[in-house]
Structure 1
Amino acid sequence: MTVELRHLRAFLVIAEEGNITRAATRLRLGQPALSRTLRRLEDHLGVRLVDRSTHHLELTAEGRTFRDKAAVALAAVETALDPRGLTSWPLRLGHSWAALGDHTITLLRRWDEAHPDIPLELLRIDDRTAGLTQGKVDAALLRGEVTAPGLRTEPLGSEKRVVVMASDSPLAALPQVGLTDLTAHRIALNTVSGTTTMDLWPPTAQPLATLEVTNTDEWLMAIAAGRAVGISTTATPGNHTHPALVFRPLADAPDVPLVLARREGPGHPALPDLIALTHEILATG
Protein backbone atom coordinates (compact mmCIF):
# COMPACT_ATOMS: atom_id res chain seq x y z
CA MET A 1 0.00 0.00 0.00
CA THR A 2 1.24 3.46 -0.87
CA VAL A 3 0.31 5.92 1.85
CA GLU A 4 -1.19 9.11 0.44
CA LEU A 5 -2.35 12.34 2.01
CA ARG A 6 -5.97 11.18 1.85
CA HIS A 7 -5.10 8.26 4.12
CA LEU A 8 -3.61 10.63 6.69
CA ARG A 9 -6.64 12.90 6.51
CA ALA A 10 -8.96 9.92 6.93
CA PHE A 11 -7.12 8.72 10.02
CA LEU A 12 -7.10 12.19 11.57
CA VAL A 13 -10.87 12.44 11.13
CA ILE A 14 -11.30 9.00 12.72
CA ALA A 15 -9.14 10.12 15.65
CA GLU A 16 -11.09 13.35 16.03
CA GLU A 17 -14.55 11.81 15.80
CA GLY A 18 -13.77 8.72 17.87
CA ASN A 19 -16.24 6.80 15.72
CA ILE A 20 -15.93 5.17 12.30
CA THR A 21 -19.54 5.88 11.32
CA ARG A 22 -19.34 9.61 12.11
CA ALA A 23 -15.94 9.84 10.44
CA ALA A 24 -17.28 8.17 7.30
CA THR A 25 -20.22 10.58 7.19
CA ARG A 26 -17.92 13.57 7.57
CA LEU A 27 -15.61 12.27 4.84
CA ARG A 28 -18.57 11.32 2.62
CA LEU A 29 -17.34 7.74 2.41
CA GLY A 30 -18.97 4.42 3.10
CA GLN A 31 -18.16 2.93 6.49
CA PRO A 32 -16.73 -0.33 5.02
CA ALA A 33 -14.39 1.67 2.75
CA LEU A 34 -13.11 3.76 5.66
CA SER A 35 -12.63 0.66 7.81
CA ARG A 36 -10.57 -0.92 5.00
CA THR A 37 -8.45 2.24 4.75
CA LEU A 38 -7.74 2.07 8.48
CA ARG A 39 -6.81 -1.64 8.32
CA ARG A 40 -4.51 -1.10 5.35
CA LEU A 41 -2.82 1.79 7.11
CA GLU A 42 -2.28 -0.39 10.18
CA ASP A 43 -0.94 -3.23 8.04
CA HIS A 44 1.47 -0.86 6.31
CA LEU A 45 2.78 0.46 9.64
CA GLY A 46 2.79 -2.95 11.32
CA VAL A 47 0.97 -1.69 14.43
CA ARG A 48 -2.56 -1.28 15.69
CA LEU A 49 -3.60 2.36 15.69
CA VAL A 50 -7.06 1.84 17.14
CA ASP A 51 -8.27 -0.23 20.10
CA ARG A 52 -11.44 -1.95 18.92
CA SER A 53 -12.10 -3.76 22.20
CA THR A 54 -14.24 -0.97 23.65
CA HIS A 55 -17.58 0.44 22.55
CA HIS A 56 -16.03 3.87 22.05
CA LEU A 57 -13.15 3.91 19.59
CA GLU A 58 -9.86 4.67 21.37
CA LEU A 59 -6.42 5.26 19.91
CA THR A 60 -3.59 3.04 21.03
CA ALA A 61 -0.32 4.61 22.23
CA GLU A 62 1.04 4.09 18.71
CA GLY A 63 -2.14 5.62 17.30
CA ARG A 64 -1.71 8.77 19.39
CA THR A 65 1.88 9.13 18.25
CA PHE A 66 0.91 8.58 14.62
CA ARG A 67 -1.95 11.08 14.96
CA ASP A 68 0.48 13.81 16.01
CA LYS A 69 2.96 12.93 13.26
CA ALA A 70 0.24 12.80 10.62
CA ALA A 71 -1.07 16.21 11.72
CA VAL A 72 2.41 17.71 11.46
CA ALA A 73 2.96 16.14 8.03
CA LEU A 74 -0.33 17.44 6.66
CA ALA A 75 0.26 20.90 8.09
CA ALA A 76 3.71 20.99 6.47
CA VAL A 77 2.29 20.03 3.08
CA GLU A 78 -0.49 22.62 3.35
CA THR A 79 2.05 25.29 4.29
CA ALA A 80 4.29 24.35 1.37
CA LEU A 81 1.37 24.49 -1.09
CA ASP A 82 -0.03 27.79 0.21
CA PRO A 83 0.76 30.33 -2.53
CA ARG A 84 1.00 33.10 0.06
CA GLY A 85 4.09 31.41 1.45
CA LEU A 86 5.94 31.88 -1.84
CA THR A 87 6.24 35.62 -1.23
CA SER A 88 6.20 35.63 2.59
CA TRP A 89 6.77 32.76 5.01
CA PRO A 90 5.13 33.68 8.34
CA LEU A 91 6.64 32.43 11.58
CA ARG A 92 3.79 31.05 13.68
CA LEU A 93 4.23 31.33 17.46
CA GLY A 94 1.68 29.52 19.60
CA HIS A 95 0.66 30.03 23.22
CA SER A 96 -2.12 28.69 25.40
CA TRP A 97 -3.03 31.69 27.51
CA ALA A 98 -0.36 34.27 28.30
CA ALA A 99 2.20 34.43 25.45
CA LEU A 100 5.28 36.22 26.83
CA GLY A 101 3.33 38.00 29.55
CA ASP A 102 4.11 41.70 29.92
CA HIS A 103 6.81 41.35 27.27
CA THR A 104 4.45 40.20 24.50
CA ILE A 105 3.92 43.60 22.87
CA THR A 106 7.65 44.33 23.03
CA LEU A 107 8.39 41.04 21.28
CA LEU A 108 5.94 41.75 18.47
CA ARG A 109 7.11 45.34 17.96
CA ARG A 110 10.80 44.51 17.97
CA TRP A 111 10.28 41.56 15.64
CA ASP A 112 8.45 43.76 13.15
CA GLU A 113 11.31 46.27 13.26
CA ALA A 114 14.03 43.67 12.80
CA HIS A 115 12.21 41.36 10.35
CA PRO A 116 9.68 43.35 8.31
CA ASP A 117 9.72 40.64 5.62
CA ILE A 118 8.82 37.77 8.01
CA PRO A 119 5.42 38.18 9.72
CA LEU A 120 5.33 36.85 13.28
CA GLU A 121 1.85 35.39 13.83
CA LEU A 122 0.91 35.01 17.50
CA LEU A 123 -1.76 32.30 17.83
CA ARG A 124 -3.61 31.31 20.99
CA ILE A 125 -4.48 27.62 20.79
CA ASP A 126 -6.15 25.79 23.69
CA ASP A 127 -3.93 22.76 23.64
CA ARG A 128 -1.22 21.32 25.91
CA THR A 129 1.47 22.26 23.37
CA ALA A 130 -0.37 25.26 21.88
CA GLY A 131 -0.72 23.48 18.52
CA LEU A 132 2.94 22.52 18.20
CA THR A 133 2.50 18.75 18.04
CA GLN A 134 -0.34 19.19 15.53
CA GLY A 135 1.83 21.25 13.20
CA LYS A 136 -0.33 24.36 13.62
CA VAL A 137 2.62 26.49 14.76
CA ASP A 138 6.39 26.57 14.28
CA ALA A 139 7.19 27.29 17.92
CA ALA A 140 5.27 27.72 21.15
CA LEU A 141 5.63 29.49 24.48
CA LEU A 142 4.80 26.81 27.05
CA ARG A 143 4.61 26.76 30.84
CA GLY A 144 5.16 23.86 33.18
CA GLU A 145 6.64 20.48 32.37
CA VAL A 146 6.74 19.66 28.65
CA THR A 147 6.43 15.90 28.17
CA ALA A 148 5.28 15.60 24.53
CA PRO A 149 7.78 13.55 22.51
CA GLY A 150 9.71 14.99 19.59
CA LEU A 151 10.05 18.52 20.98
CA ARG A 152 13.08 20.63 21.80
CA THR A 153 12.74 23.21 24.56
CA GLU A 154 14.68 26.41 25.15
CA PRO A 155 14.45 27.47 28.85
CA LEU A 156 13.46 31.12 29.18
CA GLY A 157 13.16 31.38 32.96
CA SER A 158 10.34 30.94 35.44
CA GLU A 159 7.31 32.80 36.72
CA LYS A 160 5.87 33.11 40.20
CA ARG A 161 2.34 31.92 40.82
CA VAL A 162 -0.64 34.11 41.60
CA VAL A 163 -4.13 33.39 42.90
CA VAL A 164 -6.95 34.69 40.72
CA MET A 165 -10.26 35.48 42.42
CA ALA A 166 -13.44 37.50 42.10
CA SER A 167 -13.07 41.04 43.38
CA ASP A 168 -15.60 40.39 46.17
CA SER A 169 -13.87 37.21 47.39
CA PRO A 170 -12.83 37.27 51.07
CA LEU A 171 -9.35 36.28 49.89
CA ALA A 172 -9.02 39.69 48.22
CA ALA A 173 -8.45 41.26 51.66
CA LEU A 174 -5.18 39.33 52.01
CA PRO A 175 -1.90 40.86 50.71
CA GLN A 176 -0.81 37.37 49.68
CA VAL A 177 -2.38 33.92 49.77
CA GLY A 178 -1.06 30.58 50.96
CA LEU A 179 -2.05 27.11 49.84
CA THR A 180 -3.80 26.47 53.16
CA ASP A 181 -5.95 29.58 52.59
CA LEU A 182 -7.37 27.88 49.50
CA THR A 183 -8.46 24.58 51.06
CA ALA A 184 -11.91 25.94 51.88
CA HIS A 185 -12.49 27.05 48.29
CA ARG A 186 -13.31 25.41 44.97
CA ILE A 187 -10.37 25.50 42.56
CA ALA A 188 -10.87 26.12 38.83
CA LEU A 189 -8.69 23.78 36.79
CA ASN A 190 -8.03 24.19 33.08
CA THR A 191 -7.64 20.53 32.19
CA VAL A 192 -6.47 21.23 28.62
CA SER A 193 -3.70 23.81 28.93
CA GLY A 194 -3.44 24.77 32.60
CA THR A 195 -0.41 24.21 34.84
CA THR A 196 -2.26 23.68 38.12
CA THR A 197 -3.15 20.22 39.43
CA MET A 198 -4.21 18.94 42.84
CA ASP A 199 -0.63 17.72 43.31
CA LEU A 200 0.18 21.28 44.35
CA TRP A 201 -1.39 20.53 47.75
CA PRO A 202 -0.33 17.79 50.18
CA PRO A 203 -2.69 14.80 50.27
CA THR A 204 -3.81 15.71 53.80
CA ALA A 205 -4.75 19.31 52.92
CA GLN A 206 -6.64 19.21 49.62
CA PRO A 207 -9.06 21.98 48.58
CA LEU A 208 -12.79 21.61 49.11
CA ALA A 209 -13.62 20.84 45.45
CA THR A 210 -12.59 21.51 41.87
CA LEU A 211 -14.29 23.00 38.84
CA GLU A 212 -12.91 21.64 35.58
CA VAL A 213 -12.96 23.74 32.40
CA THR A 214 -11.39 23.23 28.99
CA ASN A 215 -10.17 26.67 27.93
CA THR A 216 -8.92 30.00 29.27
CA ASP A 217 -12.15 31.91 28.64
CA GLU A 218 -14.26 29.43 30.63
CA TRP A 219 -11.66 29.51 33.41
CA LEU A 220 -11.74 33.32 33.65
CA MET A 221 -15.54 33.53 33.58
CA ALA A 222 -15.95 30.89 36.29
CA ILE A 223 -13.58 32.83 38.54
CA ALA A 224 -15.12 36.24 37.77
CA ALA A 225 -18.56 34.82 38.64
CA GLY A 226 -17.29 33.71 42.05
CA ARG A 227 -17.77 30.00 41.30
CA ALA A 228 -14.12 29.18 42.02
CA VAL A 229 -10.66 30.62 42.47
CA GLY A 230 -7.76 29.88 40.15
CA ILE A 231 -4.00 29.67 40.20
CA SER A 232 -1.88 31.02 37.37
CA THR A 233 1.39 32.90 36.93
CA THR A 234 2.48 36.52 36.94
CA ALA A 235 2.09 36.53 33.13
CA THR A 236 -1.70 36.39 33.42
CA PRO A 237 -2.66 39.78 34.92
CA GLY A 238 -1.20 41.77 32.01
CA ASN A 239 -2.99 39.64 29.42
CA HIS A 240 -6.34 39.01 31.09
CA THR A 241 -7.34 42.09 33.06
CA HIS A 242 -11.00 42.29 34.09
CA PRO A 243 -12.74 44.59 36.59
CA ALA A 244 -14.26 41.55 38.32
CA LEU A 245 -10.88 39.86 38.88
CA VAL A 246 -8.24 40.35 41.57
CA PHE A 247 -4.74 38.84 41.57
CA ARG A 248 -2.72 38.07 44.72
CA PRO A 249 0.73 36.44 45.07
CA LEU A 250 0.73 32.77 46.05
CA ALA A 251 3.33 32.64 48.77
CA ASP A 252 4.23 28.97 49.17
CA ALA A 253 4.15 27.29 45.76
CA PRO A 254 7.04 26.63 43.35
CA ASP A 255 7.61 28.84 40.33
CA VAL A 256 6.42 27.72 36.89
CA PRO A 257 9.06 27.15 34.17
CA LEU A 258 8.66 29.04 30.87
CA VAL A 259 10.13 27.55 27.69
CA LEU A 260 10.10 28.18 23.98
CA ALA A 261 9.45 24.83 22.33
CA ARG A 262 9.81 23.63 18.76
CA ARG A 263 9.77 20.30 16.97
CA GLU A 264 12.88 18.22 16.40
CA GLY A 265 14.40 18.48 12.95
CA PRO A 266 14.41 21.28 10.41
CA GLY A 267 12.06 24.12 11.15
CA HIS A 268 11.38 27.69 10.12
CA PRO A 269 14.72 29.35 9.24
CA ALA A 270 13.90 32.36 11.43
CA LEU A 271 13.52 30.32 14.63
CA PRO A 272 17.08 31.06 15.87
CA ASP A 273 16.36 34.78 15.50
CA LEU A 274 13.15 34.40 17.52
CA ILE A 275 14.95 32.55 20.30
CA ALA A 276 17.73 35.15 20.43
CA LEU A 277 15.31 38.08 20.50
CA THR A 278 13.17 36.48 23.22
CA HIS A 279 16.24 35.97 25.43
CA GLU A 280 17.34 39.54 24.81
CA ILE A 281 13.95 41.01 25.75
CA LEU A 282 13.68 38.94 28.94
CA ALA A 283 17.26 39.78 29.93
CA THR A 284 16.71 43.52 29.62
CA GLY A 285 13.28 43.36 31.25
Structure 2
Amino acid sequence: MTVELRHLRAFLAIADEGTITRAAARLHVTQPALSRTLRQLETHLGVRLIDRSTHHLQLTAAGHAFQPRAAAAVAAVDEALDPAGAGTWPLRVGHAWSALGEHTTPLLRRWKQEHPHTPVQLLRVDDRTAGLAHGTVDVAVIRGRADLPDEVHTVALLTEPRLAAVAADSVLTRKPRLTLHDLSTEPIAVNTVAGTTTPDLWPADEIPTDIIEVANTDDWLAAITTGHAVGVTTTATAAMYPHPAVVYIPLIDAPAVTVYLVWRQPPSHPAVPDLITLAQRLITPPPLRLSPGRPVLQSPRAV
Protein backbone atom coordinates (compact mmCIF):
# COMPACT_ATOMS: atom_id res chain seq x y z
CA MET A 1 0.00 0.00 0.00
CA THR A 2 1.20 3.51 -0.82
CA VAL A 3 0.82 6.03 1.98
CA GLU A 4 -0.86 9.23 0.84
CA LEU A 5 -1.21 12.64 2.40
CA ARG A 6 -4.74 11.75 3.55
CA HIS A 7 -3.30 9.05 5.83
CA LEU A 8 -1.13 11.60 7.60
CA ARG A 9 -3.97 14.11 7.88
CA ALA A 10 -6.20 11.39 9.31
CA PHE A 11 -3.68 10.46 11.98
CA LEU A 12 -3.03 14.09 12.94
CA ALA A 13 -6.75 14.85 13.18
CA ILE A 14 -7.33 11.87 15.47
CA ALA A 15 -4.32 12.83 17.60
CA ASP A 16 -5.61 16.40 17.92
CA GLU A 17 -9.29 15.61 18.52
CA GLY A 18 -8.92 12.54 20.73
CA THR A 19 -11.91 10.72 19.21
CA ILE A 20 -12.75 9.22 15.85
CA THR A 21 -16.11 11.02 15.90
CA ARG A 22 -14.67 14.54 16.16
CA ALA A 23 -11.79 13.79 13.80
CA ALA A 24 -14.20 12.44 11.15
CA ALA A 25 -16.38 15.54 11.46
CA ARG A 26 -13.33 17.75 11.10
CA LEU A 27 -12.20 15.95 7.94
CA HIS A 28 -15.76 15.56 6.56
CA VAL A 29 -15.49 11.78 6.22
CA THR A 30 -17.39 8.91 7.80
CA GLN A 31 -16.10 7.28 10.97
CA PRO A 32 -15.63 3.84 9.34
CA ALA A 33 -13.65 5.41 6.49
CA LEU A 34 -11.41 7.27 8.94
CA SER A 35 -10.82 4.11 10.99
CA ARG A 36 -9.82 2.22 7.84
CA THR A 37 -7.41 4.98 6.86
CA LEU A 38 -5.75 4.84 10.26
CA ARG A 39 -5.44 1.05 10.11
CA GLN A 40 -3.85 1.30 6.66
CA LEU A 41 -1.24 3.72 7.98
CA GLU A 42 -0.48 1.56 11.01
CA THR A 43 -0.20 -1.55 8.78
CA HIS A 44 2.25 0.26 6.51
CA LEU A 45 4.40 1.42 9.44
CA GLY A 46 4.11 -1.87 11.30
CA VAL A 47 3.26 -0.18 14.61
CA ARG A 48 0.18 0.82 16.58
CA LEU A 49 -0.10 4.61 16.62
CA ILE A 50 -3.35 5.07 18.56
CA ASP A 51 -4.43 3.24 21.71
CA ARG A 52 -8.12 2.44 21.24
CA SER A 53 -8.63 0.75 24.61
CA THR A 54 -10.37 3.79 26.12
CA HIS A 55 -13.21 6.04 24.97
CA HIS A 56 -10.79 8.96 24.61
CA LEU A 57 -8.09 7.78 22.22
CA GLN A 58 -4.47 8.13 23.27
CA LEU A 59 -1.23 8.16 21.29
CA THR A 60 1.07 5.22 21.83
CA ALA A 61 4.81 5.80 22.27
CA ALA A 62 5.22 5.20 18.53
CA GLY A 63 2.39 7.65 17.88
CA HIS A 64 4.06 10.36 19.93
CA ALA A 65 7.31 9.81 18.01
CA PHE A 66 5.52 9.83 14.64
CA GLN A 67 3.36 12.92 15.27
CA PRO A 68 6.01 15.64 14.67
CA ARG A 69 7.27 13.81 11.57
CA ALA A 70 3.78 13.59 10.14
CA ALA A 71 3.06 17.24 10.98
CA ALA A 72 6.31 18.35 9.34
CA ALA A 73 5.54 16.39 6.19
CA VAL A 74 2.03 17.82 5.89
CA ALA A 75 3.28 21.35 6.55
CA ALA A 76 5.97 20.99 3.86
CA VAL A 77 3.43 19.83 1.26
CA ASP A 78 0.97 22.58 2.17
CA GLU A 79 3.73 25.16 1.89
CA ALA A 80 4.85 23.86 -1.50
CA LEU A 81 1.30 23.88 -2.90
CA ASP A 82 0.27 27.27 -1.50
CA PRO A 83 -0.69 29.47 -4.51
CA ALA A 84 0.32 32.58 -2.58
CA GLY A 85 3.90 31.38 -2.59
CA ALA A 86 4.12 30.52 -6.27
CA GLY A 87 7.29 32.01 -7.75
CA THR A 88 8.89 32.58 -4.35
CA TRP A 89 10.25 30.35 -1.63
CA PRO A 90 10.25 32.28 1.62
CA LEU A 91 12.60 31.36 4.43
CA ARG A 92 10.47 30.89 7.55
CA VAL A 93 12.03 31.95 10.85
CA GLY A 94 10.06 31.08 13.96
CA HIS A 95 10.17 32.49 17.46
CA ALA A 96 7.95 32.14 20.50
CA TRP A 97 8.59 35.67 21.79
CA SER A 98 10.79 38.69 21.12
CA ALA A 99 12.52 37.23 18.03
CA LEU A 100 16.17 38.36 18.30
CA GLY A 101 15.43 41.51 20.27
CA GLU A 102 17.37 44.56 19.19
CA HIS A 103 19.17 42.47 16.55
CA THR A 104 15.95 41.58 14.70
CA THR A 105 15.61 44.60 12.42
CA PRO A 106 19.33 44.88 11.51
CA LEU A 107 19.40 41.18 10.61
CA LEU A 108 16.27 41.36 8.45
CA ARG A 109 17.45 44.52 6.70
CA ARG A 110 20.88 43.08 5.95
CA TRP A 111 19.29 39.86 4.71
CA LYS A 112 17.08 41.83 2.31
CA GLN A 113 20.17 43.63 0.97
CA GLU A 114 22.24 40.49 0.49
CA HIS A 115 19.44 38.06 -0.53
CA PRO A 116 16.77 40.17 -2.27
CA HIS A 117 15.18 37.18 -4.02
CA THR A 118 14.63 35.12 -0.86
CA PRO A 119 12.09 36.79 1.43
CA VAL A 120 12.12 36.02 5.14
CA GLN A 121 8.88 35.33 6.99
CA LEU A 122 9.22 36.04 10.71
CA LEU A 123 6.57 33.93 12.44
CA ARG A 124 5.56 33.92 16.09
CA VAL A 125 4.64 30.37 17.05
CA ASP A 126 3.51 29.82 20.61
CA ASP A 127 5.24 26.57 21.43
CA ARG A 128 8.55 25.59 22.98
CA THR A 129 10.25 24.82 19.64
CA ALA A 130 8.79 27.90 17.87
CA GLY A 131 7.27 25.71 15.17
CA LEU A 132 10.35 23.66 14.29
CA ALA A 133 9.06 20.35 15.69
CA HIS A 134 5.93 20.59 13.55
CA GLY A 135 7.68 21.73 10.38
CA THR A 136 6.02 25.14 10.20
CA VAL A 137 9.37 26.99 10.16
CA ASP A 138 12.81 26.39 8.66
CA VAL A 139 14.83 28.01 11.47
CA ALA A 140 13.75 28.60 15.06
CA VAL A 141 14.92 31.10 17.66
CA ILE A 142 14.80 29.23 20.95
CA ARG A 143 15.62 30.46 24.43
CA GLY A 144 16.73 28.04 27.10
CA ARG A 145 16.04 24.33 26.87
CA ALA A 146 13.54 22.66 24.56
CA ASP A 147 12.57 19.10 23.67
CA LEU A 148 13.95 19.05 20.13
CA PRO A 149 13.84 16.35 17.44
CA ASP A 150 16.99 14.29 17.04
CA GLU A 151 17.74 15.51 13.52
CA VAL A 152 18.38 19.16 14.41
CA HIS A 153 21.47 21.31 14.54
CA THR A 154 21.88 24.02 17.16
CA VAL A 155 24.14 27.04 17.45
CA ALA A 156 24.33 29.31 20.50
CA LEU A 157 24.02 32.85 19.20
CA LEU A 158 24.13 35.12 22.26
CA THR A 159 23.16 35.46 25.90
CA GLU A 160 20.59 37.93 27.19
CA PRO A 161 20.58 39.43 30.69
CA ARG A 162 17.35 39.05 32.61
CA LEU A 163 15.08 41.93 33.54
CA ALA A 164 12.14 42.35 35.85
CA ALA A 165 9.01 43.71 34.18
CA VAL A 166 6.74 45.68 36.53
CA ALA A 167 3.82 48.05 36.18
CA ALA A 168 4.85 51.68 35.80
CA ASP A 169 3.08 52.65 39.01
CA SER A 170 4.64 49.86 41.09
CA VAL A 171 6.76 50.78 44.13
CA LEU A 172 9.41 48.46 42.66
CA THR A 173 10.23 51.12 40.05
CA ARG A 174 11.88 53.18 42.80
CA LYS A 175 14.86 50.83 42.68
CA PRO A 176 17.37 51.05 39.83
CA ARG A 177 18.09 47.31 40.15
CA LEU A 178 16.12 44.39 41.54
CA THR A 179 16.85 40.94 42.92
CA LEU A 180 14.84 37.75 42.91
CA HIS A 181 14.19 38.40 46.59
CA ASP A 182 12.49 41.69 45.68
CA LEU A 183 10.02 39.77 43.51
CA SER A 184 9.48 36.73 45.72
CA THR A 185 6.37 38.08 47.46
CA GLU A 186 4.76 39.38 44.27
CA PRO A 187 2.41 37.46 41.95
CA ILE A 188 4.58 36.22 39.07
CA ALA A 189 3.30 35.98 35.48
CA VAL A 190 4.75 32.81 33.94
CA ASN A 191 4.47 31.81 30.28
CA THR A 192 4.01 28.05 30.67
CA VAL A 193 4.08 27.41 26.92
CA ALA A 194 7.39 28.92 25.82
CA GLY A 195 8.78 31.03 28.65
CA THR A 196 12.13 30.65 30.40
CA THR A 197 10.91 31.66 33.85
CA THR A 198 9.83 28.99 36.34
CA PRO A 199 9.54 29.03 40.13
CA ASP A 200 12.82 27.07 40.24
CA LEU A 201 14.60 30.29 39.30
CA TRP A 202 14.25 31.40 42.94
CA PRO A 203 16.13 29.96 45.93
CA ALA A 204 14.23 27.11 47.60
CA ASP A 205 13.24 29.24 50.60
CA GLU A 206 11.96 32.14 48.43
CA ILE A 207 9.95 30.42 45.71
CA PRO A 208 6.91 32.59 44.90
CA THR A 209 3.62 31.03 45.88
CA ASP A 210 1.37 33.17 43.68
CA ILE A 211 1.91 32.13 40.04
CA ILE A 212 -0.28 33.51 37.25
CA GLU A 213 0.00 31.19 34.26
CA VAL A 214 -0.26 32.65 30.75
CA ALA A 215 0.17 31.12 27.31
CA ASN A 216 1.78 33.91 25.28
CA THR A 217 3.53 37.26 25.47
CA ASP A 218 0.36 39.30 24.95
CA ASP A 219 -1.31 37.76 28.00
CA TRP A 220 1.93 38.10 29.97
CA LEU A 221 2.09 41.82 29.21
CA ALA A 222 -1.59 42.27 30.07
CA ALA A 223 -1.05 40.76 33.52
CA ILE A 224 1.82 43.18 34.15
CA THR A 225 0.34 46.37 32.73
CA THR A 226 -2.79 45.95 34.86
CA GLY A 227 -0.70 45.48 38.00
CA HIS A 228 -1.91 41.90 38.55
CA ALA A 229 1.62 40.48 38.39
CA VAL A 230 5.28 41.14 37.74
CA GLY A 231 7.36 39.27 35.23
CA VAL A 232 10.88 38.07 34.54
CA THR A 233 12.15 38.27 30.99
CA THR A 234 15.25 39.26 29.01
CA THR A 235 16.55 42.38 27.31
CA ALA A 236 15.01 41.19 24.04
CA THR A 237 11.50 41.76 25.37
CA ALA A 238 12.35 45.30 26.44
CA ALA A 239 13.54 45.97 22.89
CA MET A 240 10.60 44.34 21.10
CA TYR A 241 7.76 45.17 23.50
CA PRO A 242 8.26 48.67 24.91
CA HIS A 243 5.11 49.78 26.70
CA PRO A 244 4.30 53.01 28.52
CA ALA A 245 2.71 51.05 31.37
CA VAL A 246 5.67 48.69 31.87
CA VAL A 247 9.10 49.40 33.33
CA TYR A 248 11.95 46.97 32.69
CA ILE A 249 14.52 46.89 35.50
CA PRO A 250 17.81 44.92 35.61
CA LEU A 251 17.52 41.73 37.65
CA ILE A 252 21.03 41.39 38.98
CA ASP A 253 21.08 37.90 40.50
CA ALA A 254 19.22 35.88 37.85
CA PRO A 255 21.29 33.95 35.28
CA ALA A 256 21.36 35.14 31.69
CA VAL A 257 19.40 33.24 29.03
CA THR A 258 21.15 31.64 26.06
CA VAL A 259 19.56 32.21 22.65
CA TYR A 260 19.93 29.46 20.06
CA LEU A 261 19.27 29.14 16.35
CA VAL A 262 17.97 25.66 15.57
CA TRP A 263 17.28 23.99 12.22
CA ARG A 264 16.71 20.54 10.80
CA GLN A 265 19.45 18.62 9.07
CA PRO A 266 19.30 18.46 6.13
CA PRO A 267 17.83 21.99 6.03
CA SER A 268 14.25 22.36 4.87
CA HIS A 269 15.25 25.47 2.87
CA PRO A 270 18.51 25.93 0.90
CA ALA A 271 19.04 29.42 2.37
CA VAL A 272 19.21 28.22 5.98
CA PRO A 273 23.04 28.05 6.08
CA ASP A 274 23.25 31.60 4.73
CA LEU A 275 20.94 32.88 7.46
CA ILE A 276 22.94 31.13 10.17
CA THR A 277 26.17 32.61 8.81
CA LEU A 278 24.72 36.11 8.61
CA ALA A 279 23.29 35.94 12.13
CA GLN A 280 26.63 34.82 13.52
CA ARG A 281 28.44 37.57 11.64
CA LEU A 282 26.12 40.31 12.88
CA ILE A 283 25.34 39.16 16.39
CA THR A 284 27.93 36.80 17.84
CA PRO A 285 30.76 38.84 19.39
CA PRO A 286 34.18 38.23 17.84
CA PRO A 287 36.64 36.16 19.88
CA LEU A 288 38.84 38.10 22.27
CA ARG A 289 42.39 38.59 20.93
CA LEU A 290 45.01 38.34 23.64
CA SER A 291 48.48 39.75 23.83
CA PRO A 292 51.08 37.02 24.42
CA GLY A 293 51.44 36.21 28.09
CA ARG A 294 48.64 38.52 29.21
CA PRO A 295 46.04 36.86 31.47
CA VAL A 296 42.30 37.25 31.04
CA LEU A 297 40.43 38.38 34.14
CA GLN A 298 36.77 37.44 34.58
CA SER A 299 34.39 38.58 37.23
CA PRO A 300 32.70 35.78 39.20
CA ARG A 301 29.36 36.59 37.55
CA ALA A 302 30.83 36.03 34.10
CA VAL A 303 31.78 32.45 34.86
Aligned to 2:255: 254
* Cα distance, 1:161–1:38 mapped onto 2, change above 3 Å: same
Q: Shift of residue 248 of structure 1? A: 0.9
Q: Does 1:20 align with 2:20?
A: yes
**Unaligned regions of 5+ residues in structure 1, if any?**
none
Secondary structure in structure 1 of the residue aligned to 2:140:
strand
Paired residue for 1:103? 103
| Matched residue type, 2:196 | T
Aligned partner of 2:275 in structure 1 is 274
Distance 1:88 1:8 in 2: 26
- Give the aligned partner of residue 172 of structure 1: 173
Q: How many angstroms does 1:87 deviate by?
A: 2.5
Q: Deviations over 1:71-106 (max 9, x none)?
A: 111122223334565522111111111111001110
How far, CA to CA, are the matches of 2:162 and 2:59 in structure 1? 35
- Distance, in Å, in 1 between the alignment partners of 2:29 and 2:101 is 46
Give the aligned residue type for 2:27: L
1:74-223 → structure 2 map (5 Å cutoff): 74-82=74-82, 85=85, 87-149=87-149, 150-223=151-224
Give distance in 2, aligned partners of 1:20 and 1:255: 46
Alpha-carbon separation, structure 1, partners of 2:54 and 2:259: 38
- What is the Cα deviation at residue 264 of structure 1? 2.2
Instruction: Confirm or deny: 8 A CA contact 1:20 1:35 kept in the other structure.
Output: yes
Taking a change above 3 Å as real, the CA distance of residues 225 and 60 of structure 1, as seen in their structure-2 partners, is farther
CA distance in 2, matches of 1:248, 1:61: 44
- Measured in 1, the distance between the counterparts of 2:271 and 2:140 equals 14
State the secondary structure of the residue aligned to 2:156: strand
Check conservation: 2:141, 2:259, Cα contact below 8 A.
Answer: yes
With normalisation by structure 2, the TM-score equals: 0.88
The aligned runs of 1:221-260 (5 Å cut-off) are: 221-260=222-261
Structure (1 or 2) with the larger CA radius of gyration: 2
Structure 2's unaligned 5+ residue stretches are 287-303
For 1:71, give the aligned amino acid: A
**Distance of 2:168 and 2:191 partners within structure 1:** 20
Deviation sequence 1:233-260 (CA, Å, 0-9, x none): 1100111111111111111111111011
Q: Which residue of 1 aligns with 2:41?
A: 41
Letter in 2 for 1:138: D
User: 3-state SS of the aligned residue for 2:263?
Assistant: strand
* Cα deviation, residue 284, structure 1: 6.5
1:147-197, Cα deviation, whole Å (9 max, x unpaired): 312321111021111111111122222211111112111111111111111
CA distance in 2, matches of 1:87, 1:154: 31
1:119-169 Cα shifts (integer Å, max 9, x gaps): 011111111111111111110111111331232111102111111111112
Residue 197 of structure 2 aligns with an amino acid whose one-letter code is: T
Kept after mapping to 2: 8 A contact 1:133/1:263: no
Distance 1:58 1:180, change over 3 A: farther
Distance 1:226 1:120 in 2: 36
**Sequence identity (%):** 58
CA distance in 2, matches of 1:264, 1:109: 26
Q: Which moved more, 1:85-94 or 1:211-220?
A: 85-94
Contact 2:162-2:256 at 8 Å conserved across structures: yes
Aligned residues: 285
CA-to-aligned-CA distance 1:39-85 (integer Å, 9 cap, x gap):
33223223232234455333233222211101111122223334565
